[in-house]
Structure 1
Amino acid sequence: MFRSSGDCSDDSHTAEYIYEYVKGCIEEIGVENVVQVVTDNAPNNMAAARLLKEKIPSIFWTSCAAHTNNLILESIAKL
C-alpha cells in the first residue's frame, strides 16, 4: 500500500534525510507491520537502503522495476 508523501522540495535529499524519513514512517506503523520499501535507483536512495538494513535488517528495500527498465532502455537507445 502507498503510505505517504511529503513536499520535500526545499530539503536536500541526502541518504541520511531519506533514511530518517523512511525510518520514521516505519516506526510510526510498527516495524512488525512493514515488509518492503520501494524507491527508484538513485544513489541517495540506495545509500539510505544500506543505512536502513543496518538498523532494521528485516526490511526489504527494492528498486522500482519500472525505473530499472527505463534505465536499461535509455542505455540501449544510446547505443
Structure 2
Amino acid sequence: MPLVRSLISIPAGVERMSVSLFLVLTAIGSLVWNTALILAGYLLGEQWHLVESSVGVFQKVVLVAAVAAVTWFVMVKVRARRSVSEKVK
C-alpha cells in the first residue's frame, strides 16, 4: 500500500520521531504484512487469486482507517495550538 506508506511519514515528521525509530517500526510493519501475504499465498497454492480479492478489501479498510487517524491527529494538533494561542491572548 504505497499511499499509506507515504502518508505515515507526515505525522512521524510532525512529531519529530527519530529516523531510527521510524525505520524500525516501518520494517516491523512491512515484515508482518509481507509475511501474512506470503503465508496466505503459500497455503492457498493455486487458489492464490482468493487472496488478491481479500487483500483489496483489506487495503481499502486500512486506507480509510489511516485517513481517519491522520485527520484525527491533525484536528488534535490544531485544537491544541488554538488553545495555547487563546491562553496567550
Q: Same fold (TM over 0.5)?
A: no
TM, length-normalised to structure 1: 0.42
**Structure in which a larger fraction of residues adopt strand:** 1
Higher helix proportion (structure 1 or 2): 2
